[in-house]
Chain A
Amino acid sequence: MRARSVSKTLGFESFMWLFMRLSGLAMYVFALTGLIIALFMGARTQMDMGTLLRWTFFPIGTHVTSSDILVLEQWINPFWSIIQYLVIAFATLHGTNGLRVVLEDYMDKGWSVYLLRGLLFVVWLFMLLVAFNLIQTSGAI
């Protein structure tokens, strides 16, 4: 079996390779920020484990309003909105690129790869806009 050839120059693939790792680390930072601040704001006594995990991965108000939180303004404010926008921006591109990498492993090089990339770009843009709209209509900012 012969290993596939990989271009040694810096380009699209190496940029996305770096992005996958850096966005992964960035999402670690956002998740730990959400988890640690939530515990300081009283999550230990005011919400169950499932609610805390939902908040950890995506700190949107609708994820916690059904729990017993006391001060709503602590949980729904511009600080969390900024984190939401950043998480969505990183997560949607990380996920769409992951799907692209998996699919392209099973495709021959050629025009179909570029068709797939165009299609996934539209899907990514749609996901991004839908999620941004949800954040805007969820009450914060």
Chain B
Amino acid sequence: MPLKRSVSLWQGLKYKGGGPMWAWILHRLSGLGILLFVGLHVLAAFMTAQFGSDAGIAINTIYESWAFQIIVYFSILFHVVNGLRVIVLDFWPALLEHEREAVWAEWFVIVPIFGLATYIIVTKALGG
């Protein structure tokens, strides 16, 4: 009975699941974000191409803003790298012993790639 679990939000936040727990939460959030982003993008492009609607231009204006680009870029990068970790650990369960180290390794991949791209996006936005 998933709706009747007797754990409050506060208790949930205090749960010390650590890296793998936060990776699980971020994987869901980033996945839902990407689905919303891509779904709206495809729908807007379709509306513009078929009916000459302004919706596509309005949505593209938001999508092209640098703050939005950073969020989308992080969501996709995290989902992609974390997804690979999930695949590797699922197909080679012996590695589950090093699950926490795997999450650390994942962040060592994400942070430099994300930081570099964010640096380029921000300096370009500030006219650099």
CB distance B84 to A130 under 8 Å? no
Q: List 17 A-B contacts (CB under 8 A).
A: A4-B2, A24-B83, A28-B80, A48-B124, A53-B117, A91-B38, A95-B31, A95-B34, A95-B35, A98-B31, A98-B32, A98-B35, A99-B35, A102-B28, A106-B3, A107-B2, A134-B49
- Is A140 close to B, CB under 8 A? no
The B41-96 residues at the A interface (CB cut-off 8 A) are 42-43, 45-46, 49-50, 69, 73, 76, 80, 83-84, 86-87, 90-91
Main secondary structure of the interface of A (DSSP, over half): helix
The B1-53 residues at the A interface (CB cut-off 8 A) are 1-3, 5, 28, 31-32, 34-35, 38-39, 42-43, 45-46, 49-50
CB distance A130 to B42 under 8 Å? yes
Query: Which B residues are CB-close (under 8 A) to A50?
Result: 69, 121
| Contact A28/B84 with A50-B69, A108-B3 known, Cβ cut-off 8 Å | yes
Chain B interface bracket (under 10, 10 to 19, 20 to 34, 35 or more): 20 to 34
Contact with B along A108-141 (1 / 0, CB 8 A): 1000000000000000000100110110011000
Main secondary structure of the interface of B (DSSP, over half): helix
Across the interface, name the chain A residue whose C-beta is closest to B90: A21
CB distance B69 to A21 under 8 Å? no
- Is B120 close to A, CB under 8 A? yes
Beyond the given pairs A95-B34, A108-B1, 9 more chain A to chain B contacts, judged by CB atoms under 8 angstroms and listed by A's residue number, are: A21-B87, A21-B90, A31-B80, A95-B31, A96-B35, A99-B35, A102-B28, A134-B45, A134-B49
Residues of A within 8 A of B (CB): 1, 4, 21, 24-25, 28, 31, 48-50, 53, 57, 62, 91, 95-96, 98-99, 102, 105-108, 127, 130-131, 133-134, 137-138
Q: Which of B5, B39, B73, B87 contacts A127 (CB 8 A)?
A: B39
CB distance A108 to B49 under 8 Å? no
Return the 9 tightest CB-CB contacts between A and B, nearest first: A95-B35, A130-B46, A98-B31, A24-B83, A21-B87, A131-B42, A49-B120, A134-B46, A137-B49
Across the interface, name the chain B residue whose C-beta is closest to A58: B38
